[in-house]
Amino acid sequence: MPAWRKLGIIAGAGELPVALAEHCAAEGASYFVARVAPFADEALETHPHDTHGLGEMGARIAAMKAAGCDAVVFVGKIPRTDLRTLNWDAGGMAMVPALAAAAPKGDDALLRAVLDEHAKQGFVIIGADQVMEGLAAPDGVWGKHAPSAGDLADMRLAARVAAAMGTFDVGQGVVACAGLILAVEAQEQTDAMLQRVATLPTDIRGGASARRGVLVKRPKPIQERRIDLPVIGVRTIEGAAAAGLAGVAVEAGGALAVRRAAIIAAADAAGLFVFGFTSADLDVT
């Protein structure tokens, strides 16, 4: 029994908002999509929705209230934007001081300020994994391939680096191969990071015939977990496969898997493992 009557889905870019809206529709839940233009997918137009720019906070909140929403979930990617370049409406303008104060403290601080401003408007803030059971990454081996001892060692190394980076509010992804850190994600996003791993010398990475190395995604230690959890999807598996990696590891409960069955099918077909690690898996051996 959800703790809300009608859910406002504030939708940025990517597959996750679409998957979430489809889930709500399939469940017969009461929902309304607030598309953030120009990022949100066009497929969302088939759902009950309205569309506003990032700075049109007033119009967006008014639309969600008019639709009867008492709770909101933030899903999908919104690129880091210079607040000075946005078109703010009056409702948005009223939030600018709080957002501008938070922005220099980093992505996480800015997101918390956005959540706070919506909470002040009377919305309950819901995590995407509360809306859609099975969205949160489970622990253990997901598909038919399992990590080797060497893969697990690379996973532990990459997970430690990701945690160290996360304390600086940096990225959520790290690639390690045979004890060497190949790439660290910052503002370029995971897909671009995997693309550059694919261009590194084959001496230090794997390939389709001999897969080596692991992509790890995990939340920052300071992460606001109701928003901006790491996300993996089929494209993550495709990128990892193209980079010659042996697999993808995410923190169990600390990442969202969009269309998990499709992720597993893609990984099984390409010969990659997908693994949800817990703190027990990170113990130094």
Nearest to 222 by CA among 166, 160, 161: 166
Among 3, 26, 82, 279, binds a second copy (CB under 8 A): 82
DSSP 135: -
Helix (H) or strand (E) holding 261, with range, is helix 260-270
DSSP-assigned beta bridge partners for residue 216: 174, 249
Among 43, 45, 79, 208, binds a second copy (CB under 8 A): 79
Q: CA 17 to CA 20: how far, in whole Å? A: 5
Q: Which is nearer to a second copy, 62 or 184 (CB)?
A: 184
The residue behind tokens 């969202």 is: 256
Which residues from 14-53 bind a second copy, rule CB under 8 A?
none
Among 106, 138, 253, 271, binds a second copy (CB under 8 A): 106
Among 13, 161, 262, 282, binds a second copy (CB under 8 A): 161
- For 30-48, the DSSP string reads -EEEEEEETTS-GGGGGSS
The residue behind tokens 């261009």 is: 199
What is the token pair recorded at 261?
């069955």
Nearest to 184 by CA among 217, 212, 156: 217
Q: Which is nearer to a second copy, 28 or 104 (CB)?
A: 104
Among 28, 179, 283, 285, binds a second copy (CB under 8 A): 179
Of 5-13, 22-30, 45-53, 159-167, the segment contacting a second copy by CB under 8 A is 159-167
CB of 136 to a second copy, least distance (A): 27
Chain positions contacting a second copy, by CB under 8 A: 79-82, 85, 103-107, 157, 160-161, 164-165, 167-171, 175, 178-188, 192, 196, 199-201, 203-204
